Structure 1
Amino acid sequence: MERNTTQQLTPATVDFDKPGKQIGAFHVPFSAHDDAWGVVPVPVAVISNGKGPTVILEGGNHGDEYEGPITLGELIRDLDPASVSGRLIFIPAINQPAVMAAQRVSPIDGINMNRTFPGDPLGTTTRQIAAFVNDVLFPMGDVFIDLHSGGSSLDIIPSAVIEPGKSPEQHEANVAAATAFGAPIAVVIDNRGDPRTATASAALAGLTVIGTEMAGGGTVSIDALALCRRGVRNVLAHLGVVPRHFATPVEKPPALFELTSRAHVIVEDDGVFEPIHRLGTEVRAGELAGRIHFITQPGRKPVDLHYRADGIVYGRRQPGRVRPGNCCLVVATPYESKKP
């Protein structure tokens, strides 16, 4: 089946070409035990007026990350179409089943949406939602804003995220958008080269792309939410979609970092993780990063963990309990500008 049939399989209750403000949903078919012909209603809103770029704003890709969905909901309610030049397409709780369950992955199929793009219009629910974004929305768009937080398992320094562009021009536009966001730091993250993320898929489609990481812990951070509110408005003003007075002046550009192949500290034991440093601490490769304690084996010495890269502690695991393969720490390294 051709991918352009996605819209037929997943109809929306809004008209993406109609001026004004609309709030509705797109319907992903879902045949469950208690509802043979039901749907998963994924919320979507459109605010359109005059000429200008089309900006797609996504939140809730992971269902336990809240600053983005709150920010987008406020904009949907508060923005007057008369103040918009162009078109804003909001998908504030894109992974609706995961958002309802407050989980990183969908309770329906157990899939991480941010590792399933470009999706599959005939796949499981998560893959169908990703296909709608990739096949229907991305071709309409000029810019993609993807709002993430650390979720239940990580605490991350609130930051803008730069998706590596597929051309020097696209990369420059991505960096400019991240700079306009106004976070203290911006981090180039390619997710170990994984092409299945929403931002990687949007970049492949030719859109300017900006992401975020807004604290974490499965809660709402007061400071990160304030930054997210300001940052999204700053980017929209930078793009010319809303007037300049919507923006908050940025005092200085962000410090630029990147995640290299040696950024992650992975545990090989089953135990309890003790971190050594707070977020933002400058560290060196080889330095003690933490320990794994064996609570039920009091005679066993802890296992030491060591950093694998120079930089700052960017992310830290929240739950103390760990098992082999868990990521306990993430180090962001000062960014060396290079062609994508």
Structure 2
Amino acid sequence: MKQLTFLIFLLSIFQYVHAQPSKFEKWSNMTEASVKDTVFRVSSMSNDAVDIPVTFIRGSLKGPTFTIIAGIHGMEYPTILSLLELRREIDPKKLKGNLIIIPIVNQTSFYQRRPFVNPMDSLNLNRVFPGDPKGSITEVMADFISREVFAVTDILLDMHGGDAGEDLIPFMCYYNNKEFEIQTKQALLLCEASGFSTIVSYPYILQTDKPALYAFKQAVRQGITAFSMEIGKLGNWDRSELVMAKDAIYRMMSALKMYQRQKINPRNTSITYYGGQTYVSVPVQGIFYSSFQAGDIVHKGTEIGYIADIFGNILNRLTAPKTGTILYKVGTPPVNKGETLFCIGHQYDKED
């Protein structure tokens, strides 16, 4: 009850973070509760072009603009499909505020089934923010999102999942940004409202002259209440993941007093908090073997896998540098030097 009261307090003093006028602001001409689907074409100076599909949903009453994006990586299917269903279900007459839904940011990756990168320039869209209007097509896409989409966004949910080679447990995550304390507290409360049983806090360490790289980290830098969802694994999906992702959004909209849905599947209210992650990088290219899966607990010094060459000869044995829970890991055999092999989360007590 205290958390709900605090969330209402945050909303009462929440200042909407509108920056320079955006092409997106043209949709403000929608004076009645309605749904509008549109496609924005963005082009690079080398004449590469992509279409970014956007749904605008204007509510019947004034309120915050909640932007939800998925498909920055084209093979993260549960989140993409959940947004496509959400778009069909929302009744704008029952909505307070506005929803911006971008279900598949990177359509080229999606339709060509290319994990992580845009096949047009082989860049990872979630590693080039804030982007560059004079750069390659992926950098132009990031620039469009940073300048146009974020300019009209008050709250951002950046949805991700296990791409083709990733095994992970479902979790919500946010940056512990001390510069924008109100937005950080609101991000945490919305993560808690989602119904997910795992919440991960990332440290916010970003020098002023360094790029954010990640989409929702860029939004945090711009003073937006931003957080992310991770669900699904190994480039696959099932109905339960889709429903879990969609129910989480309904819970968050309910917490924001934006939308009420009568039927939402019950979720475990027990939450485990993780922070101070430890990353294990791939030391050498090869074939990865491990009996551990996402969600398993590993202990410092325990062997957690090994890497072999193409003849099966062991090149490197891997041990856990710290005790913790595997939040995500590479779930397929091929690995390349420098890639993140394991992310190990360290549990903490929120009350401490």
The TM-score with structure 1 as length reference comes to 0.86
Q: Work out whether 1:99 is the aligned partner of 2:97.
A: no
Q: SS in structure 2 opposite 1:138?
A: helix
- CA 1:269–1:130 in 2, change beyond 3 Å: closer, same or farther? closer
- Aligned partner of 2:288 in structure 1 is 273
Whole-angstrom CA distance in 2 between matches of 1:237 and 1:307: 40
Deviations 1:227-275 (A, max 9, x none): 1121111111111111253655544142111252xx2222223332111
Residues 39 and 60 (structure 1), Cα distance of their counterparts in 2 relative to 1, 3 Å cut:
same
Structure 1: distance between partners of 2:228 and 2:105: 15
Q: 1:223 maps to what in 2?
A: 240
Q: Which one of the candidate residues 94, 97, 104 is aligned to 1:83?
A: 94
Q: Distance in 2 between matches of 1:30 and 1:323?
A: 30
Counterpart check, 1:27 vs 2:41: yes
Residues 169, 248 of structure 1: alpha-carbon distance in 2 compared, 3 angstrom cutoff: farther
Q: Which runs of 5+ in 1 are unaligned?
A: none
C-alpha change, 1:190 and 1:101, in structure 2 (3 Å) is: farther
1:237 and 1:247 in contact (8 A); partners too: no
The residue aligned with 2:325 is 312
| Residues 180 and 250, structure 1, Cα contact 8 Å, conserved in 2 | no
Letter in 1 for 2:307: I
CA separation of 1:246 and 1:29: change in aligned 2, threshold 3 A: farther
1:199 aligns with 2:221: no
CA deviation after TM superposition for structure 1 residue 4, in Å: 5.8
Q: How many aligned residue pairs are there?
A: 325
Q: Which residue identity lines up with residue 121 of structure 1 in the other structure?
A: P
Alpha-carbon offset, residue 15 of structure 1:
2.2
1:172 to 160, 185, 190: 185
Distance 1:43 1:13 in 2: 16
Q: CA deviation at 1:281?
A: 1.8
1:1-340 alignment, distance < 5 Å? 15-18=27-30, 19=32, 20-29=34-43, 39-49=49-59, 50-103=61-114, 104-165=116-177, 166-189=179-202, 195-243=212-260, 245=262, 247-260=264-277, 263-296=278-311, 300-301=313-314, 303-335=316-348
Asked if the contact 1:14–1:22 (Cα under 8 Å) also holds between the matched residues in 2, the reply is no
User: Which ranges in structure 2 are unaligned for 5 or more consecutive residues?
Assistant: 1-18
Instruction: Classify 1:96/1:243 alpha carbon distance in 2 versus 1 (closer, same or farther; 3 Å).
Output: same
Alpha-carbon spacing, 1:118–1:271, altered in 2? closer, same or farther (3 Å): closer
SS at match of 2:262: helix
Cα deviation, residue 203, structure 1: 1.0
TM-align CA RMSD = 2.6
1:195-239: CA deviations, max 9, x gaps?
221111111222111211112211114432221121111111111
How far, CA to CA, are the matches of 1:259 and 1:219 in structure 2? 28
**Against the structure 1 CA distance between its residues 217 and 14, is the aligned structure 2 distance closer, same or farther, given a 3 Å change threshold?**
farther
Q: What is the percent sequence identity of the aligned residues?
A: 25
CA distance in 1, matches of 2:28, 2:319: 51
For residues 251 and 277 of structure 1, do their structure 2 counterparts lie closer, same or farther at Cα, with a shift above 3 Å needed?
A: closer
Q: Compare 204-213 and 11-20 and name the one that shifted more.
A: 11-20
The residue type paired with residue 203 of structure 1 is V
Q: CA 1:113–1:140 in structure 2 vs 1: closer, same or farther (change >3 Å)?
A: same
1: CA distance, partners of 2:223 / 2:204: 19
Moved more, 11-20 or 91-100: 11-20
Q: Which amino acid aligns with 2:88?
A: R
Measure the CA separation in 2 of the matches of 1:4 and 1:122. Answer: 19
Letter paired with 2:245: C
1:18-58 CA-to-partner distances (Å, cap 9, x unmatched) read 141100111113688xxx7x842210010002211100110
Bigger shift: residues 233-242 or 276-285: 276-285
| Aligned counterparts of 2:140 and 2:272: Cα–Cα separation in 1 | 37
Alignment check: 8 A CA contact 2:132 2:142 kept:
yes
Q: Which SS does the other structure have where 1:51 is aligned?
A: strand
The question of whether the paired residues in 2 share the 8 Å contact of 1:31 and 1:39 is answered with no
Secondary structure of the 1:189 match is strand
CA contact (8 A) 1:66 1:220 kept: yes
